C-alpha cells in the first residue's frame, strides 16, 4: 500500500480549499491523491469498477461509488457514470490522476457545466497541448526549440514520402493525438515511410479515434529529459527542475531520476525557461510536464507537453520538497503559487523504478496476470518510498495497466540513491505474478547507466538479444552455491528438529553433523560442495574455494539476510522441494539450483542404555542408520 513520503511539504491548516474531492482514477495514483487530501483535511470519494470493489484506494477513501463493470470504457472512462457519482456525493472538485480522463477536454467541460472544479489546467491548454500539430506551432511561436519537420497534417503515403525526403531520413511518423508510444514509427527510407504511414494511421485511429499524422526529423540516440512546470491562475509559472527518463521500452519509461546526470546548470536553466514560456503561452494553471529530446551535444527539442500529473512526479517531490498534488489543489482553488523560482532547490538525488507485473525476458516486459499471494514493500529501509495501490491478495487483471508500484529511493547523491535502490529491489517481496525486478536491478548496476551513458535505445543496445537475467561472475556463482548449500542444510536441520519433537516418546539419537557433502547443480553444471556449521555460520567449500555464510537462518521469513565472507546479501527462497530443487532470487534474478546429499558424517553426542553408538567413533551414514534402526527396534520391544 502507499507508504511514507519522502517529500517534506508543509500544509497551512488555515488555507481553505475543498470539503470533498472525487478522484476519477484507480490504483496507486488514486491512493497518492487520497493521501495528500487526508493531510489537507479534505474528504475523498473513490470511484471503482465492480472488480475493484475491494481495492486499496476504495478502502482509503471516505466514500466509494461503483461506476460500472471491469472494462475501462464502461467504468473509469464512463463520463456519465462518473458525473452521476459526483452529483450523488456532492464532491466539489475532481482530481483525474493520470491516464483515463486526465487529458480529456470534454470531461473538463462537463465538470465546468456543473460548477465542479477540475484539478488541472483549463480546457484551452488541454486542447492546445493535446494536439501535437497545434502544440508544435504554439511552441515555435513561444520561441521553444522544436524538431525540424512538417507542421501540417500528412494527407497520404505519397505526401509522407515527399515530406520525408525534404526533411531528410531518418524521420519519425507519429499520431497527432497520440501518446504513450502509440501510433509512432521510425522510417529510414521511402518504403518504410509508406509502411509507417499505413500502420501509424491505423493504430492512431484505433487508439485515439483520430488518424491524423505528422512527420518530423528523427533524433537518433537521444535522451528523453522533461521539465516539471507549475502554474497558477494569476500568470505565475515555475520550472521545478528536470527528470531524466531515457530508460524506456516500447517508448514507455522504465527508470526515471532527478536531476539528470547529463545536464549542466546552463542547459537546465535554458530548458526550464523555455518550458515556462510555453506554459505561459497557453495560460497554464496546474502541474504539467514539458518533454524534450536532447542530443549528445546538449541541443534540446520540444517533444510534447503533458497536461497532467506525471507518473514519475515523486522524484521531483524528493529533490524539491514540494507536494505536487497539494500544489495542484491550491491552484485549482485559486491560490497563487507560494514559491519563487529562486526558492526551488535541487536537494540530493532521487531514482524511480516502475515495478510491473511483466515478464522482462519477453520483449523487456509482457504483462503477467495473477493474484499476489505474498507482498511486502521494502519501506523498512532508509530513503525508500513506495507508491502503490495493492496489498497481499490483490489481483493484477487483464483490464488495467500491470503496474505494481513506483519504487523511489532518495539519497544525498546519485551513488547513494542507486545503492538504496539496489537494496530496495533485493528486499521487495512479490509472489504470485511474474515481475520485472530482475531487469530493473540490472539496469541500475550496469556500468553504462552508472556512468550516465544512456539514451532511449539503452535496453536494445545493452541487450541486443533480449534480456537474459544477471550473468554471474565466478565469485557471485560461488556465493550463490554457498548460500544455496547452507539453505539446504538449514532446512534439513529444521526438519530433523521437527521430527525429534514429533517422535519425542521414542528415544532416538540426536547426532551432530560434522560435514555435509553435497552435489549442487546450477545452469547444467554440477559442483561439489562440503558444508559444516557452527552456530549461525556455515563453513562451505565450493569447488576448492572456502566461504563463510552467516545468517539468523529465519527460514519462515520471505527475506533472508546473509553475509558471505563479510559481503551482505539479501536473498529470497521462493520455493523448495524435498528432492533438493530450489528457486532462489539472488541479485534480482531467479535461479534454480538443485542440491542433493552425497554423504555426511555424524558424531554422536549422547545415547541411552543401549550400547549403540560409541561416542568415540565417527560413523558414516549407512552404519549409523543401521544402528539407529536396531535401537528403535530394541526400544519398541
For residues 196-215, one letter each, b for 16 or more C-beta atoms within 10 angstroms of the residue's C-beta and e for the rest, the string is bbeebbebbeebbeebbbbb
Kindly report whether the peptide bond that precedes residue 613 is cis, defined as omega within 30 degrees of 0.
yes
Q: Could you give the CA distance from residue 81 to residue 72 in angstroms, rounded to a whole number?
A: 12
Residue among 304, 358, 422, 442 flagged as catalytic: 304
Bridge partners for 197 per DSSP: none
Which helix (H) or strand (E) segment is 274 a member of?
Answer: helix 265-281
Cell numbers standing for residue 208: 485515439
- Alpha-carbon torsion 618, 622, 624, 630, what sign? negative
Q: Could you give the CA distance from residue 187 to residue 193 in angstroms, rounded to a whole number?
A: 5
Q: Where are the alpha helices (DSSP H) in 334-471?
A: 414-426, 437-445, 447-451, 458-462
- Residue pair 457/220 in contact by the 8 Å Cβ criterion: no
Q: Could you give the CA distance from residue 238 to residue 345 in angstroms, rounded to a whole number?
A: 12
CA distances from 556 to 12, 207, 434, 534, 549 (A): 46, 47, 22, 21, 18
Q: Could you give the CA distance from residue 598 to residue 491 in angstroms, rounded to a whole number?
A: 16
Q: Which residue, among 289, 301, 285, has the nearest Cα to 229 in the 3D structure?
A: 289
Helices (H) and strands (E) in the chain, counts: 17, 32
- Residue pair 437/588 in contact by the 8 Å Cβ criterion: yes
Cβ-proximal residues to 189 (8 Å cutoff; 6+ apart), any chain: 169
Which helix (H) or strand (E) segment is 396 a member of?
Answer: strand 395-396
Q: Helix, strand or coil for residue 163?
A: helix
- DSSP 3-state helix, strand, coil percentages of the chain (rounded to 5)? 30, 30, 40
Q: Could you give the CA distance from residue 365 to residue 436 in angstroms, rounded to a whole number?
A: 7
- Helices 27-39, 324-333: axis angle to 10 degrees equals 70
Cβ-proximal residues to 403 (8 Å cutoff; 6+ apart), any chain: 27, 28, 354, 355, 356, 357
Q: Helix, strand or coil for residue 217?
A: strand
- Residue pair 15/333 in contact by the 8 Å Cβ criterion: no
Cell numbers standing for residue 45: 470519494
Q: Where are the alpha helices (DSSP H) in 114-209?
A: 123-130, 132-141, 157-167, 190-208
Cell numbers standing for residue 280: 505561459
φ, ψ for residue 588, nearest 5 deg = 90, -25
Cell numbers standing for residue 51: 472488480
| Annotation marks residue 291 as catalytic | no
Active site residues: 304
Amino acid at each position: 500500500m502507499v507508504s511514507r513520503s519522502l517529500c517534506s511539504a508543509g500544509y497551512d491548516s488555515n488555507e481553505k480549499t475543498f470539503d470533498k474531492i472525487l478522484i476519477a482514477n484507480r490504483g496507486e495514483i488514486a491512493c497518492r491523491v487520497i493521501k495528500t487530501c487526508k493531510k489537507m483535511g479534505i474528504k475523498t470519494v473513490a470511484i471503482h469498477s465492480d472488480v475493484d470493489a475491494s481495492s486499496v484506494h476504495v478502502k482509503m477513501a471516505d466514500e466509494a461509488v461503483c461506476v460500472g463493470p471491469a472494462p475501462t470504457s464502461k467504468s473509469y472512462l464512463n463520463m456519465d457514470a462518473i458525473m452521476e457519482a459526483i452529483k450523488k456525493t456532492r464532491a466539489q472538485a475532481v482530481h483525474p490522476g493520470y491516464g483515463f480522463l486526465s487529458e480529456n477536454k470534454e470531461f473538463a467541460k462537463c465538470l465546468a457545466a456543473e460548477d465542479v472544479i477540475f484539478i488541472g489546467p483549463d480546457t484551452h491548454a488541454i486542447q492546445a497541448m493535446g494536439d501535437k500539430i497545434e502544440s508544435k506551432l504554439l511552441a515555435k511561436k513561444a520561441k521553444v526549440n522544436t524538431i525540424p519537420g512538417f507542421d501540417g497534417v500528412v494527407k497520404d503515403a505519397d505526401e509522407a514520402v515527399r515530406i520525408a525526403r525534404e526533411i531528410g531520413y531518418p524521420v519519425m511518423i507519429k499520431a497527432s493525438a497520440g501518446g504513450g508510444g502509440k501510433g509512432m514509427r521510425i522510417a529510414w527510407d521511402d518504403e518504410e515511410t509508406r509502411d509507417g504511414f499505413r500502420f501509424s494511421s491505423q493504430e492512431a485511429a484505433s487508439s485515439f479515434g483520430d488518424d491524423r499524422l505528422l512527420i518530423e526529423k528523427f533524433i537518433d540516440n537521444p535522451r528523453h529529459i522533461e521539465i516539471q512546470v507549475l502554474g497558477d491562475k494569476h500568470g505565475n509559472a515555475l520550472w521545478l527542475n528536470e527528470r531524466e527518463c531515457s530508460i524506456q521500452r516500447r517508448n514507455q519509461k522504465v527508470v526515471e531520476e532527478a536531476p539528470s546526470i547529463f545536464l549542466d546548470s546552463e542547459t537546465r536553466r535554458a530548458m526550464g525557461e523555455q518550458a515556462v514560456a510555453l506554459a505561459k503561452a497557453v495560460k497554464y494553471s496546474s502541474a504539467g510536464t514539458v518533454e524534450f529530446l536532447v542530443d549528445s551535444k546538449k541541443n534540446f527539442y520540444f517533444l510534447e507537453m503533458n497536461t497532467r500529473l506525471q507518473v514519475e512526479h515523486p522524484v521531483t517531490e524528493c529533490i524539491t520538497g514540494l507536494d505536487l498534488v497539494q500544489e495542484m489543489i491550491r491552484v485549482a482553488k485559486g491560490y497563487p503559487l507560494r514559491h519563487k523560482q529562486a526558492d526551488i532547490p535541487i536537494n540530493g538525488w532521487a531514482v524511480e523504478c516502475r515495478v510491473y507485473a511483466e515478464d522482462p525476458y519477453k520483449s523487456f516486459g509482457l504483462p503477467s496476470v495473477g493474484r499476489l499471494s505474498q507482498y511486502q514493500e521494502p519501506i523498512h529501509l532508509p530513503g525508500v518510498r513506495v507508491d502503490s495501490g495493492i496489498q497481499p491478495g490483490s489481483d493484477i487483471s487483464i483490464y488495467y495497466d500491470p503496474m505494481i508500484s513506483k519504487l523511489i529511493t532518495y539519497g544525498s547523491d546519485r551513488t547513494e540513491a542507486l545503492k538504496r535502490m539496489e537494496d530496495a529491489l533485493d528486499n521487495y517481496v512479490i509472489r504470485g505474478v511474474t515481475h520485472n525486478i530482475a531487469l530493473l536491478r540490472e539496469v541500475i548496476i550496469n556500468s553504462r547507466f552508472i556512468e550516465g551513458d544512456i539514451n532511449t535505445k539503452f535496453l536494445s543496445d545493452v541487450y541486443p538479444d533480449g534480456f537474459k537475467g544477471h550473468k554471474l561472475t565466478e565469485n557471485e556463482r560461488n556465493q550463490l552455491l554457498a548460500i544455496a548449500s547452507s539453505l539446504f542444510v538449514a532446512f534439513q536441520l529444521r526438519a530433523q528438529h521437527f521430527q525429534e519433537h514429533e517422535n519425542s516418546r521414542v528415544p532416538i539419537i540426536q547426532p551432530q553433523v560434522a560435514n555435509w557433502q553435497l552435489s549442487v547443480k546450477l545452469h547444467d553444471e554440477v559442483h561439489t560442495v562440503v558444508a559444516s556449521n557452527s552456530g549461525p555460520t556455515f563453513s562451505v567449500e565450493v569447488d576448492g574455494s572456502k566461504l563463510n555464510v552467516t545468517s539468523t537462518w529465519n527460514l519462515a521469513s520471505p527475506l533472508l539476510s546473509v553475509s558471505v565472507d563479510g559481503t551482505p546479501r539479501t536473498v529470497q527462497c521462493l520455493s523448495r522441494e524435498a528432492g533438493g530443487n530450489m528457486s532462489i532470487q539472488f541479485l534480482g534474478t531467479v535461479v534454480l539450483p538443485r542440491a542433493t546429499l552425497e554423504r555426511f558424517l555424524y558424531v554422536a553426542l549422547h545415547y541411552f542404555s543401549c550400547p549403540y553408538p560409541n561416542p568415540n567413533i565417527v560413523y558414516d551414514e549407512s552404519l549409523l542408520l543401521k544402528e539407529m534402526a536396531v535401537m528403535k527396534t530394541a526400544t519398541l520391544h
